[in-house]
Structures are given as structure tokens and as C-alpha cells.
Amino acid sequence: MQHLLRICLFALVALVPVYAQTRAKAGEVKLGEVKVAVDAAVAVRVTASNAELQTLALMAFSSHGGFRIEGSRPQFDIKFTAVAPTQVRVDILSGLGGALKASQVVTGSTPRQALLRAADFAVEKTNGVGLRGFFTARLAFVSQRGGRGEVLVSDLYLGEAKQLTHDNALVLTPRWAPDGSRVIFTSYFRSGAPDIFTADAATGRRETIVSLRGTNTGARFSPNGQQIAMTLSGSGSPEIFVANAQGKQIAARTRSDSAKSSPCWSPDGSQILFVMEPGPQLYVMPASGGAPRRLSLGYSYAAEPDWSRTKRNLIVFTVRVAGGRYQIATHDLATGQTKQVSKASFDAVEPSWLADGRHIVYTARDRTSTQLAILDTETGKSTSLSSFGAAALQASVWTP
């Protein structure tokens, strides 16, 4: 019983580090917000043909570290016009009243999706450094607003949110399938023990993937969707296992007495990055198994990794810094360079890459609240996603 308790505690601590001991005074800092002045940001004026599109467009460009809203002397004047119920035209002018640089009519499944797709087109035409847009990202996350925890999916700005589970139970680490059709997660639903399930992103239909003795946590689909990496503890200490997409043909990839968690696939599916005690620290190994290699990061605590699909040598993870706070860092596997990219007065944990390989979604946290936010890893600018109040955490990103 004590051994099982240690396993459960490690799994939960690895996923949700303890709260920091410091908190900004009320009104001093908004949770999830870090303002940074960036001279190199592209100045844009953003307008739309109705108030709903205008609000969303301003929200999108304000969350991007490569842009700043400028009304009087913009480099580009970006205009969004609703031309049909699910179509938006974007016109990009050079400066105020300048020459037309680009124009496109974009279709989406809803007016919001059409606007976000059009905004991504504008980003790609104006950022000047070849960045891909990320505004059309979808989120899967845990909301604790209505109980102990439920899995929801939404757009990047928490609009058009849909609840996938109705468990009223502890749920952990929802992660998208690579085609966006399903979300895989851990829930204490029914058995009161941590089992792995999937839910259809459109219908919410649930399927049990792994329900074995011990803890079953941290599941992630491989990039091609044909395998699942996860942490199971039925054989003793938590180990990394790989199964097929239905949770069958389960095979161990690690074997030692050290507890492990948070497996994460490389973009090509050839390697698995994971967390292992003591520390914990980050290790990488072949997806088929083999001796793990510890990454030299310069931190005594490193956890919750995510591997960029765009910049394939770049990983992001949570570290513990001076004063006991938790912040976000990146590590370049090619150069060996590690960089702390968040420097907030609150905890910054649970990072997930957006499609441009520059921004992430993460959980901002103080002693009483959690909030999803977008972080620019180049400038440190952070923008709160506030629709769900003090109740949203553990987001996973999928981009169509």
C-alpha cells in the first residue's frame, strides 16, 4: 500500500508541481500577464466589420509576441470583413491607406474559425521572418469550474468550448490525437483509480484504453497516431510503456527502480522524451527501447516536457528556479543550449507548443488560481486566456 501511494503521489506531483510560496499582491499583477516592450515587433492596425470579429482579431494579434497594435503609424493596416456567415475577407495594406499588399477570402466552420484562419493568413504575409500562424489552434484542457475536473475542447481563445467528459472525478493531462479526432486522458472515473480513456472530440464518446492494476497515466499518441506511450506502475515502479492505438500489445520501454512519467514523442516518432527520478530530470531514448540518455539542462528539477513539431531540435519543459517558483525553459538538442523563457511573479508550468515553434500555451498559477496563458518564448511576453476564470489547466494544443 505504501509503495502504491508513493507511485500515485509521484504521478500527481510530476503532472502538477506544488504551489509556489510567493504570490503577487492583489491588483499588482494579473495572473498569466507579462507585458514586454518589443521594438522589433511588427506594428499593425487591426479592424473588423463587426464588434465580435473586432474583439477576436484584437485578442489574437495582442497575444502574438511578434506584433504590436498601433493605431497611428502601423506598418500594416489589416482589415477583416464578414462576406458570408462562415467567410471572412482579409485585406492587408502597407501603412494607413497604403497600397494593397494581399487579400484573401477565407472559409471556416464558424465565423470565429473563419476570422482566426484569416488572421493566420495575415500573420504569414506580414511577420517578415517566415513564421507560421497559430491562431487556429485547438485546445484540450482540464476545467475545474464545475467540479473536481472535466475535459473540454475549445479554440485557442477558449471560444466555442465543448465539454467532453461528465465524470465529476479527478482528470489529468488530456492530449490530442494527431488528426484531432480524439483526446486521450487519465480519469479516476468509475473505478476510483487512474485509468486511460479516449473521448471523441466531436461526440464525446468514451473508450477505455488501459485499465490495469496500479497507475495508468500520461498517455500520448505517436505522431502517426499508431502507438501510445504511457506510464504504468502495475509491475512495480512507474515505467514507460508503448501500446498500439487501441491500448493493446503493451510493451515496456524502461526497466529500473526509478519512477518515471510524462512520455513525449519526437516529431518523427523515433525517440521518446520522459521524466525520471531523482530530481526529476529529462531523459531521451529510442522509441523501441534502449539505454536512456540524460539531458544536461543545468536545473535540479525538470519536468513536463513537450517536443516542438516545427523546430524539431527544440523542447520546452518546467523547471524550478530560485525561491521555489516554477518557470518555463527551452532546450536546443542540436546546440545543447538551455534558456529560461518565462520570468513571471507567478508559477508557469505545463507547457505545450503552438504551431509556429515560438509560442506555447501553459498554465499560470498562484496559491489560489490557475489560468491558461500564451507565452512568447523569444520575448517573455505572456497573455492570459481568461474566459474560464481560476479553473483551467493542463492544456494540449492541436493545429488543423
pLDDT for 25 equals 45
Q: Which of 4-18, 130-144, 193-207 has the lowest mean pLDDT?
A: 4-18
DSSP 18: P
Cell of residue 398, nine digits:
492541436
Residues 120 and 256 in one domain: no
**For residue 287, is it within any domain?**
yes
pLDDT for 388 equals 58
**For residue 37, is it within any domain?**
no
Percent of the chain with pLDDT over 90: 82
Taking 70 as the threshold, does the pLDDT of residue 161 lie above it? yes
152 CB-near residues (< 8 Å, 6+ apart): 140, 141, 142, 143, 161, 162, 163, 164
pTM of the model: 0.91
Residues 161 and 203 in one domain: yes
* Phi, psi dihedrals of residue 12, rounded to the nearest 5°: -70, -40
Residues 93 and 224 in one domain: no
Residues 173 and 104 in one domain: no
**CB contact at 8 A, 80 and 48:** yes
Residues 171 and 245 in one domain: yes
7 CB-near residues (< 8 Å, 6+ apart): 214, 215, 233, 237, 238, 259
How many residues make up the chain in this entry? Answer: 400
Cell of residue 357, nine digits:
515553434
Coil, strand or helix at 2 = helix
Distance CA 182, CA 199 (A): 6
* Total number of domains in the chain: 2
Supply the range of the domain harboring residue 81: 42-62+67-126
pLDDT for 5 equals 33
Using 50, 70 and 90 to split pLDDT, how confident is the model at 82?
A: very high
pLDDT for 386 equals 75
**For residue 35, is it within any domain?**
no
CATH code assigned at 93: 3.30.160
Residues 118 and 201 in one domain: no
Mean pLDDT of all residues in the chain? 91
C-alpha to C-alpha distances, 266 to 271, 287, 314, nearest whole angstrom: 5, 9, 10
